[in-house]
Amino acid sequence: MSVIIGPEPWYQPQYAIPLPGMMTGQILAGSPPALAVKYQMLIMFTITITITLGTGFGTLVAVAVAAGSRRLFDGRERLRLDRLAVLRQ
């Protein structure tokens, strides 16, 4: 009989070695390990580039909004409706 105090970890590190899913699936399906590693690296680089570009674009948008808000608000933080561009059809 064993008593466990506190939460159990979601996996036991001495029994499981976590591997990336795509690479593991390809190896188990019979693909050469070197090819599986190349595909896994491609996926990891793609994820990294996507996150980097998304963060950079988000930062640019935030800076543009901050610069635009200086023009749309006065010193007492009131919205200046006369400075808004109205699109008429």
Closest Cα to residue 20, out of 7, 3, 5, 33?
33
Instruction: Please report the pLDDT score of residue 24 as a whole number.
Output: 84
Mean pLDDT score across all residues of the chain: 78
Tracing tokens 């591997």 back to the chain, one arrives at 19
Rounded Cα distance, 34 and 30, in Å: 12
One-letter amino acid at 9 equals P
Instruction: Please report the pLDDT score of residue 7 as a whole number.
Output: 63
Least confident of 16-20, 43-47, 66-70, 77-81: 16-20
Instruction: Please report the pLDDT score of residue 49 as a whole number.
Output: 95
Mean local confidence (pLDDT), 17-34: 81
User: Contact, 23 vs 39, CB < 8 A?
Assistant: yes
Rounded Cα distance, 72 and 69, in Å: 5
